[in-house]
Structure 1
Amino acid sequence: MPTTRSTPTGSTSTGSPSTRVPLSVLDLAPLSEGATSADALAASTRLARRADDLGYERFWVAEHHNMPAVASTSPAVLIAHLAASTRRIRVGSGGVMLPNHPALVVGEQFAMLEALHPGRIDLGIGRAPGTDPATAAALRRTTDGLGAEEFPAELLDVLGLLGQQSPGRAPSVLVRRFSATPAPTSSPEVWLLGSSTFSARLAAALGIRFAYAHHFGATQTLAAMAAFRAEFRPSADLAQPHAMVSASVIVADSDEEATHLAGPSRVMALSLRTGRLAPIVTPDDAAKTLAGLRGTALDDVLAQLPGTQIATTTPAAVAALERLVEASGADELLVTATTHDVATRIDTLERLAAAWAA
């Protein structure tokens, strides 16, 4: 079972089944060539059910808009479905992009999810729009995200609406006048997501959980995690700092096979960088595309793209994840993968679950 850690929150332990941190899953509902949105969402449902059976701690879904390779556009809707389709795993957002939504809408959606599935809902909140400026404008919010002054205020509104008002801060007019749900009995677990020290320090100041997006922003991982722990202020909801770090992982029988299966993620990363968005290609087509780029200017771009960070055998993947935990001091790990087919993602989860606990 992936959830095997028994050490106190805030400490760091790796290396043995009794002390390894819990594993969770982030899924984007990737849409492959020739597939439909229904196919992608059905695959995510299948993945969530398998993660549930394997003992993973959480299953998070992302918010992306106007992307031909991602079917996860509305986390709250997908979370409701996934929570109803699983038994015990926590289900949440990784994350809801606050610039796209009024605080009251986010509060109402997640208060309702928590009422439907008490003790199983996570609200992960991000600061970026999660899309291009034109789509952000179409969402009727802002084209460039919330600023350093606006975002904390809106985040405080969400917390207040969920009954997690920060001590020493007067409730805003919104929080005084509205409630997210008439008579709550519990509240979702709130996380702040980020790939910079800004989000880490804000999470620390508010005393909420922090998740660092190492899978696409690895340059500030250690600085952000260190800042979160050093500046953390206890809150009514969280007495000690609690942080999670993500990593993109594909596991196979050999390094060569894993690299081949990770090819589509590299092509997708390149398409994002060049603005040529398209559904996820097959590993064979990805290999042809990547081979055709060797020696070109795009070859240098590819060398700097994250793609899949850990594409290797099970023992090597476990060792790499343990090193990440040790370096970052993470209390939990969030694994994700961009693959052409869900069977590859399921196989990776199965291999990791067995090795993490064995």
Structure 2
Amino acid sequence: MTTPRVPLSVLDLSTVSDGGTSRDALAATTALARRADELGYTRFWVAEHHSMPAVASTAPAVLIAHLAAHTGRIRIGSGGVMLPNHPALVVGEQFAMLEALYPDRIDLGIGRAPGADPVTAAALRRSANGDPVEQFPVDLADTLALLGRPAPGRALSAVAQRLRATPAAISSPPVWLLGSSTYSARLAGELGLPFAYAHHFSTGQTDAAVATYRESFRPSEALASSRLVLTTSVLVAPTVAEARFLAGPSRVMALSLRTGRLGPVVSPDDAAAALAELERTAPAQLSALLAELPGTQVVGTVTDAVAALEALVDRTGADELMITGTAYDVQTRIETLEHLAAGWGLHAPDAGERGSAAGSAQVSG
């Protein structure tokens, strides 16, 4: 067994497959989280998206509570809570309660995007006045203060000065800033927060964001030195051909996001047929777009995947990698985690370790 160079974690969106239901998607997320816990992954984060036919993860705090109750050791968190959609006090109260129920197992990842189309985003907004995105640094500072982690040099609103998220906290969840641009990287650095960059978005800004974060980082009470997680999409199978076949649905999903034709995750067979038809009939512009969409960034055998992930760590100096991906069947995701755990040399905790936190939310009567 090799020694892992950096920890591995998991990001999941609770995707809905063609013919499946929201219940099926959430059950699959639960199964994936439990297997990640058993295999020795460090953390398991869930996303916040709204009004998307293929995503059932709309309320991270609710799902986090469920997953924490069904796992024993792995950290459970948000990747992330989209702060423009929520009052800072609500987010603070939710995660202070989660921390009290599952101490030292909760992560609060915060993002600046709405995680929705403009109409849905408007419906989520709590006020028609002002721009919630422009308000983001203030709301972030308020959330940190409400959780007992005040941001250095940031003024607080009257609400944050007067209120607190929970009456008598003995611990608070670490707050991560999420992003896919240099804006969030710079803000995370200036506030001395750990930063999770969405490398799986394939925006081409990974190197710039990493450099910006490190250059702007200022030590804080929360963090003495920079802490960087990169999220990348991975699918592993015994052969390259099988991996490419199983990654087909992710290519169709990537294309649907670009063209606005959203739908559930299709099967590998349906994906292969759809991609072949598009390549045959699509205009040149669409064909070029299809050729540029990887869907999943790392596709191949476990040897291929480990080499690609090692290269990403070498290039960026990431302190941790977070694995995500789109697949029709949760078993495909589970097998990817199993292959990577073995190839990366993760330590699988024994039953005692996995169960040590399982009773943390129980109240004696």
TM-score with structure 2 setting the length: 0.91
Indicate yes or no: 2:286 matched with 1:301. Answer: no
Which residue is equivalent to 2:165? 180
What is residue 326 of structure 1 aligned with on the other side?
Answer: 314
Q: Find the aligned partners of 1:323 and 1:145 in 2 and give their Cα distance.
A: 40
Segment drifting more, 184-193 vs 163-172 = 163-172
> In structure 1, what is the Cα distance between the partners aligned to 2:244 and 2:90?
42
In 1, Cα distance between equivalents of 2:152 and 2:178: 22
**TM superposition shift of 1:169:** 3.5
Query: Residue 216 of structure 1 contacts residue 306 of structure 1 at CA under 8 Å; is this kept in 2?
Result: no
Structure 2 residue matching 1:40: 3-state secondary structure: helix
* 2:175 is the alignment partner of 1:157: no
Q: How does 1:198-237 map to 2 (within 5 A)?
A: 198-237=183-222
Structural mapping, 1:92-103, within 5 Å: 92-103=77-88
The Cα of 1:19 is off from its aligned counterpart by 5.2
Correspondence 1:146 to 2:132: yes
Match of 2:258 in 1: 273
Percentage identity across paired residues of the two chains: 67
Q: Which runs of 5+ in 2 are unaligned?
A: 347-365
Distance 1:26 1:321 in 2: 16
| Matching residue of 1:91 | 76
Give the distance between the partners of 1:168 and 1:37, measured in 2 at CA.
Answer: 43
Is the 8 Å Cα contact of residues 197 and 227 (structure 1) preserved in structure 2? yes
Scaled by the length of structure 1, what TM-score is found?
A: 0.93
Q: Is the 8 A contact 1:314 1:355 kept in 2?
A: yes
Task: Give, as a single letter, the amino acid of the residue that structure 1 aligns with 2:221.
Answer: A
* Aligned partner letter, 2:316: S
**For each residue in 1:28-48, what CA deviation from the matched residue of structure 2 results, as whole angstroms up to 9, or x when unmatched?**
001001111111100100000
- For the structure 1 residues 344 and 145, does the alpha-carbon distance in structure 2 shift closer, same or farther, using more than 3 Å as the test? farther
* CA offsets 1:141-163 (integer angstroms, 9 cap, x no match): 4799733x421111101101100
Matched-pair contact (CA < 8 Å) for 1:93–1:124: yes
SS state of the match for residue 152, structure 1? helix
1:58 equivalent in alignment to 2:46: no
- Secondary structure of the corresponding residue to residue 59 of structure 1: strand
Q: Is the 8 A contact 1:136 1:142 kept in 2?
A: no
Task: Confirm whether residue 193 of structure 1 aligns to residue 178 of structure 2.
Answer: yes
SS in 1 for 2:201: coil
Offset at residue 270 of structure 1 (A) = 1.1
SS in 2 for 1:199: helix
Distance across 2 between alignment mates of 1:172 and 1:30: 37
Superimposed CA distance per residue, residues 262-317 of structure 1 (whole angstroms, 9 cap, x where no aligned partner):
00011111111111111110000000000001142222111222400011110010
1:128–1:145 contact (8 Å) kept in structure 2: no
2:337 maps to amino acid? L
Q: Please tell me whether residue 350 in structure 1 is matched to residue 344 in structure 2.
A: no
**What RMSD, in angstroms, separates the aligned Cα atoms of the two structures?**
1.6
Tell me, in whole angstroms, the C-alpha distance in 1 between the residues paired with 2:19 and 2:220: 48
Q: Which residue of 1 aligns with 2:325?
A: 337
Shift of 1:170: 4.2
Match of 1:41 in 2: 26
Cα contact 2:84–2:125 (8 A) shared by 1: no
> Per the alignment, do residues 166 and 140 of structure 1 end up closer, same or farther by CA in structure 2, a change over 3 Å counting?
closer
